Every structure is written in C-alpha cells, then in structure tokens.
C-alpha cells in the first residue's frame, strides 16, 4: 500500500487526475496512509486558495458553487470542488443524487469529488482536510468546499478553509438557525440565495442588525450579498467579493489563519498516533489491560486508572 501511495502521490504532483481520484479513495478509507503521502507533497502545499460554503440544507449551495466554479474557471483558474455530505450510512446513495447531477453539468477541467460518511462521524472532517491537501498538491488554484447542514462536522471542515461563505435563504428562522449553529462567528461573507423569494431584503436587514450586536470588534463586518443561483444573478458580485477578500487576506492575516490551522492539524495527528499506540499497548500489557478494564467497567474512575498506569506522566519521563 505504501508503495502504491508513493506512486500515486507523485502522479498527483504531476497533475494526473486518475492518480488524484484513486489516492482520495485510499485516504478516505485508510487515512493513516497520509503518513506516506504528506512527506512527498508537503513542500508544494499552500498554493491553492480554499473557500468553504456552508448553511442550512436546501439553500441552493450546490448550484451556487457550480456557478462560482464556472466563473473562476472562465478566468483561467484550475478548480477543485469537494461536497461533504454527513448523510447517515444507510441512506447515503439517495441523498447524493443531486450532487451526481451537478457533476455532469460541470466542465471536465473542474475536478469534483463528493464525500459521505463511512460509518464514523468524526472521520469525515478529518478526511476532508486530507482531500483539501491532495487537491492543493494537484495544482488547483481554488478549492471550493460545500458542506450540507450546520453541525459540528461543518464547523470543523470550515476551520480548514481560507474563506467561509454562509448561504441562507429568505425564509425566516434561517438566520436564527445559523446563529444557533455558530455560523455567525465563522462567516466572512453572507449570501442570501433564492433572493427572488419574498423577504430577502428583510433577512438582510435582520442579519445586519444581529451582526452589529456582535462584540467581535477585530473582525470586519462581513458583506451580505443577494444571489439567485439558478439564473446566475449576483454570482459575479460574489466572485468579485471573494477575490477582494482573498487579496485583503493575503499577507499576515492569511499566514495567521494557516498557522492556526497548522497547530490544529499537528495536534490532531499527534492525538491519532498516540491513541493507536495506546490501543496496541492495552492489548499487549496485562497490567495496563487490567487497569483499563477496571475503568471501563466503572470500578475505577478514569483519572485514577491513568495515574496508576502512568505514575510519572504519559510522556514526561522520556525527556
């Protein structure tokens, strides 16, 4: 497997689309293979600019992203799209239907990939981060990430993007939902899509009022744009705003965002390696195994069990 990953990673660097598709599938199923892939691609990472689109289901994000991708592509940029769908496993196929349709509409020089849960929830955000890196190494100028829904997975995914667009629709309650889900804090740009429906202006005014109450003074007030993605109205303005935001961000602020991301990435990788080692150890060491099971059965609290197993700390006595 490591040998195949090596070859595929080189293929990705050369811009081979099949290598990218195959490597994504491998990483989705066995993320630990990133330990082989990353050393090969690390030095080129960071060229792609990553834009996340999130918001409640039914806001028309797919068609909006389709439009944005076309517009950026027309300007000569190479585009990757990732659609993240935390659909439950047993209903997976059906919900991906509209995404498959979207795929056919897109030009063939826009690389599209849809990702669904493979049983484990926490794994989806992690896999998405890895796929963003692979698409970056592939040479994309822009990577557009769409999430379905407004939960924790979505927030985690948005931590890996350079810009976050929150897409709402005019129907009341949407902005309240977005606020509850914590989307207000992460939005760089708001889009009210399907703005031909009644109430679009009202929602924009409400949203502005809510944002002005926001005590986060360091952040510039995010623009609120109206779009109708089905006939492309407002998409040009959105692309203009995205480009402006990108330009404004480049330099110190972009470095800061990416450094923060680098820290999260590192700790996540460290935690994953640690827990793998731990699970192996618990199989092999009978004293540890005994203490562990006392804790699992509730006969000993976890803190006491960990103190018994590692009296001098888990890593401290190595240094």
How large is the angle between the packed helices 2-13 and 34-41, nearest 10 degrees?
Answer: 30
What is the Cα–Cα distance from 98 to 65, expressed in whole angstroms? 13
The H-or-E segment that residue 112 falls in is: strand 110-116
214 touching a second copy, by CB under 8 A = yes
149 touching a second copy, by CB under 8 A = yes
Edge-first strand listing for the sheet containing 224-226: 110-116, 79-85, 142-147, 49-54, 163-168, 189-192, 224-226
What is the Cα–Cα distance from 88 to 119, expressed in whole angstroms? 8
Q: How far is the CB of 165 from a second copy (least distance, A)?
A: 18
Q: How far is the CB of 53 from a second copy (least distance, A)?
A: 17
Nearer to a second copy, 146 or 156 (CB): 156
Q: How far is the CB of 128 from a second copy (least distance, A)?
A: 13
| Both structure tokens of 164 | 């976050």
38 touching a second copy, by CB under 8 A = yes
Q: Which of 13, 106, 179, 233 binds a second copy (CB under 8 A)?
A: 179
User: Which residues, 16 to 35, sit near a second copy by CB under 8 A?
Assistant: 34-35
What is the Cα–Cα distance from 178 to 250, expressed in whole angstroms? 27
123 touching a second copy, by CB under 8 A = no
Q: How far is the CB of 277 from a second copy (least distance, A)?
A: 5
Q: Which of 185, 196, 236, 244 binds a second copy (CB under 8 A)?
A: 185
120 touching a second copy, by CB under 8 A = no
In the 8-state DSSP scheme, what is residue 171?
S
What is the Cα–Cα distance from 194 to 168, expressed in whole angstroms? 9
Q: Which stretch binds a second copy (CB under 8 A): 76-84, 96-104, 192-200, 261-269?
A: 261-269
Q: Which stretch binds a second copy (CB under 8 A): 101-109, 190-198, 214-222, 234-242?
A: 214-222
């Amino acid at each position: 497997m490591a040998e195949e990953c090596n070859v595929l990673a080189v293929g990705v660097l050369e811009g081979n689309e099949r290598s990218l598709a195959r490597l994504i599938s491998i990483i989705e199923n066995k993320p630990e293979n990133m330990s082989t892939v990353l050393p090969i691609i690390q030095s080129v990472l960071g060229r792609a600019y990553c834009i996340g689109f999130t918001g409640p289901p039914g806001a028309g994000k797919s068609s909006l992203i389709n439009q944005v991708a076309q517009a950026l592509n027309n300007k000569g940029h190479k585009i990757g799209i990732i659609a993240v769908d935390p659909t439950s496993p047993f209903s997976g196929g059906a919900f991906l239907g509209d995404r498959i349709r979207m795929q056919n509409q897109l030009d063939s020089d826009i690389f599209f990939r849809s990702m669904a849960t493979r049983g484990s929830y926490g794994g989806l955000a992690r896999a998405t981060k890895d796929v963003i890196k692979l698409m970056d190494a592939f040479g994309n100028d822009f990577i557009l990430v769409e999430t379905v829904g407004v939960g924790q997975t979505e927030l985690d995914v948005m931590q890996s993007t350079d810009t976050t667009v929150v897409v709402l629709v005019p129907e009341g309650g949407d902005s309240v939902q977005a606020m509850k889900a914590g989307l207000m804090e992460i939005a760089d740009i708001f889009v009210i899509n399907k703005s031909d429906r009644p109430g679009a202006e009202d929602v924009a005014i409400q949203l502005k009022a809510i944002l002005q109450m926001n005590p986060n003074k360091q952040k510039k007030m995010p623009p609120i744009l109206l779009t109708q993605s089905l006939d492309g109205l407002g998409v040009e303005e959105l692309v203009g705003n995205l480009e402006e935001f990108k330009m404004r961000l480049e330099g110190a602020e972009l470095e800061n965002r990416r450094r923060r991301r680098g820290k999260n990435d590192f700790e996540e990788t460290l935690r994953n390696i640690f827990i793998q080692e731990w699970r192996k150890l618990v199989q092999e060491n009978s004293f540890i195994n005994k203490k562990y099971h006392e804790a699992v059965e509730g006969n000993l609290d976890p803190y006491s069990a960990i103190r018994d197993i590692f009296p001098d700390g888990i890593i401290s006595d190595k240094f």
